[in-house]
Structure 1
Amino acid sequence: MRDGAWQALPLPGADLAIIAGWLAPAEADALLAELLTAIPWENHRIRMFGREVASPRLSCWIGDPGASYVYSRTRFEPHPWPAALADLRTRVERACDAPFNSVLANLYRSGSDAMGWHSDDEPELGARPVIASLSLGATRRFLLRARAGDTRTHELQLAHGSLLRMGGDTQRHYRHALPRMARVSAPRLNLTFRHILR
């Protein structure tokens, strides 16, 4: 891990910070290659506009025993931690000064895979969750928009090896999205570390 200071992102009512090069390129490359094969990827079914559809990305819910997660009316029981993620978890906890007992791994196979506007505000995450998001692979746009009031869209470029920390009232006040990018052909693997209340 390289040294790096958190850069605060000034959004009213949010607690957001990023370290652009949290993992050195060689380590990020090796981790991406390992996790692409070590994680048992699934195409989850989610509920959108009153009907069930295939999620526009591959995912895997990983965590401690009992750290189950309900998303889009579906309960996900955690897969065990792969060795590479068990070590990484400790390092992310130290960097974010927060405990994590689970991680949602998302694989965007190309720029055609995306995620629409949402907040990570499920009850089992608590009122003011800390969520750490590590990006590996292709750089993708990450958008944020206030849930009320100001309708401007704020954009971040999440690059290979970057670590984004979302805490405080961020999920209560903002939604976020990862839009399609037609010219991106390489995959992006995103690890969102969370703490499930039990």
Structure 2
Amino acid sequence: MRDALRRAADPSSDYDLNPEAAPPDAPLRPAGVLAAFRADDGRLVLTKRASGLRHHPGQIALPGGKVDPGDADAVAAALREAREEIGLDPSQVRVLGCLPPHRTVTGFSVTPVLAVIDGPFAPVPEAGEVQEAFDLPFAHVADPARYRVERRRWRGGWRSYHAAPFGPYYLWGATARILLGLARRL
């Protein structure tokens, strides 16, 4: 994974497949997400967002969120949010580096933080934000052939997006695009 971080890559965007829908450049709010792989088996920890959330209810996501005033940077935000959302102690997390930022349709510049979880870890989902915490095999996440382009109606038109479903989990949108970027670098 360290080699993947050394490979040059451009930032990604929810508009990569729909450039005509991109709004004019506007200030983006900084955010950080944690792409944390278990050291023992390489599985990636993900969450299914609670169905009652205002933004992205029920979607598969990397733990993370917006950079708060008390956060030093996107890495600190990702670590704080992972602790809040799934009970991941930052002392168990070995940060390897950051992937290029990803621009979302919701106005965030998301910095994906690539990390390894050392030692045993049993996620404890925060009921208000996370419906379920689970993990996916490294082989699925790291294989670009597992990702496909799909489309659906959105805001009166068709929107294309990346998806990499796995069993009952429909990995798509920003999370899938971020992980596809990693897979291509691996």
Q: TM-score, normalised by structure 1?
A: 0.31
Name the one with the larger strand percent.
1
Q: TM-score, normalised by structure 2?
A: 0.32
